[in-house]
Amino acid sequence: MSDKPVVFSGIQPSGTLHIGNYYGAVRRWAAEQGHNFNIFCLVDMHAITVPQDPAELREKTLETAAILLAAGIDPQRSALFVQSDVGEHAQLAWLLNGIASMGQLQRMTQYKEKSAERREQSTVGLFTYPLLMAADILLYRTNFVPVGADQKQHVELTRDLAQRFNATFGETFVLPEPTIPALGARIMGLDDPTKKMSKSGGRSGHAVGVLDSADAIKSAIMSAQTDSGSEISIDRDRPGVSNLLSIYIAATGTTREAAEQHFAGKGYGTLKREVVDALVAELAPLQARYAELRASPDHLRALLTRSATAIRPIAQQTYADAKRAMGLGLGSPGGQE
Ligand code: AMP
Ligand code: TRP
């Protein structure tokens, strides 16, 4: 492995990627590939913590891979693989089950939100989800984890677990740090700007998918909830307009000051139309590259398999170290451990 910093991130291959995923995570993964050793993972084992149709999950795994490549993930510079292809993820997650406390996991906001409605029916996997995520990160001795703001708590938990493991069993894991973008870290739902845009939002008018047609983008943005008033600025009391303006800033690469000045004295209709134009301009070329890539599923499968083969030895080594440190297995013949 090179001595460049290791960057690892994951995305669930369920639902369709939306602009929150794109601006909060994927676009940055692509932009920052040059400086690091990059590993991007399609976390299909995280996806099954809520019900999935098997055929659809497999389809979405290829779709998500093609979107990431279309967004600029370069297989020459980055590993891109499917989580369930490297068995050590589940194996290390189990070891972490012996480290994490119930209380720690009960404090996780994502778990509380996702299980709020039907706690008794929600899967055990939804509860232990952060341990699998911690295993993903720790296996590759990751330094940096680029994610949206919603995942910061999980990366901090990973750090705590690694620290506890190292203190108890000896230096084994590298402590990771989350990196959160200044802009686009939390894109909110268009129908309800107090809730983050999510893949499970489901309702039409909630999200803009990165594969949405120009017409669909237009109808979602034009019907987005705005606020009473008319000033266009980022303001905690006006979440609807703030969200649209944040999307505009993320899509055009302008600054907050320049954007606020640009829209001074203009109405919400103008803001919405310009957001539509900016999104269509950004997403149309991505969609064209996606269509090409998606037309060769065998090529996608081969690329994902090759990548898993290339990085598996790193995961195997870290897992073997963790296992030995905890006293599992028989150790080596004649050895001290
Ligand atoms: P997920 O869709 O949960 O697999 O998330 C994949 C990546 O997108 C993670 O880095 C998330 O933090 C990020 N992400 C998800 N939803 C949003 C959002 N609404 N705004 C910004 N980033 C997000
Ligand atoms: N839990 C993350 C999400 O829902 C996805 C994920 C899984 C991840 N494993 C990871 C992100 C490791 C960063 C690092 O967004």
Tell me, yes or no, if the two domains 6-180+297-325 and 214-292 fold the same way.
Answer: no
- Percentages helix, strand, coil for the chain (3-state, rounded to 5) are 55, 10, 35
Q: At 79, is the secondary structure helix, strand, or coil?
A: strand
DSSP letter for 332, please: S
d(CA 273, CA 293): 30
As a whole number of angstroms, the distance between CA 240 and CA 249 comes to 14
HSE-CB for 172 with a 13 A CA cutoff:
27
Q: Is 43 in the pocket of ligand 2 (CB under 6 A)?
A: yes
End-to-end CA distance of the chain: 26
Distance, in Å, from the CA atom of 209 to the CA atom of 204, rounded to the nearest integer, reads 11
Task: Provide the strand spans (E) within the chain.
Answer: 6-11, 37-42, 78-82, 144-146, 177-179
Query: Ligand 2: which residue has its CA nearest to atom 15?
Result: 11
Two tokens, residue 285: 């070329």
pLDDT tens by residue, the chain, 337 residues: 568 999 999 999 998 899 999 999 999 999 999 889 999 999 999 999 999 999 999 999 999 999 999 999 999 999 999 999 999 999 999 999 999 999 999 999 999 998 888 888 899 999 999 999 999 999 999 999 999 999 999 999 999 999 999 999 999 999 999 999 887 789 999 999 999 999 876 678 999 999 999 999 999 999 999 988 778 888 888 999 999 999 999 999 999 999 999 999 999 999 999 999 999 999 999 999 999 999 999 999 999 999 999 999 999 999 999 999 999 999 877 655 5
The domain locations on the chain are 6-180+297-325, 214-292
Q: Does the Cβ of 243 fall within 6 Å of ligand 1?
A: no
Pick 6-180+297-325's CATH classification: 3.90.1010.10, 3.40.50.150, 3.40.50.620, 3.30.300.30: 3.40.50.620
The bound ligand whose nearest atom lies closest to the alpha carbon of 9 is: 2
What is the 184 CA–ligand 1 centroid distance (Å)? 10
Q: Which residues are catalytic?
A: 114, 196, 199
Helices (H), 71-213: 88-97, 102-106, 109-115, 124-139, 152-169
Residue in 14, 60, 132, 154 to alter for ligand 2 test, most ligand atoms within 8 A of Cβ: 154
CATH 1.10.240.10 fits domain 214-292: yes
Considering the entire predicted model, what is its pTM? Answer: 0.94
Q: Which two tokens stand for residue 67?
A: 């979107």
**271 C-alpha to center of ligand 2: Å?**
32
CA of 236 to the centre of ligand 2 (A): 27
Q: Find out whether 37 and 275 touch, Cβ atoms under 8 Å.
A: no
Q: Strand 37-42 to strand 6-11: parallel, antiparallel, or no bridges (unpaired)? A: parallel
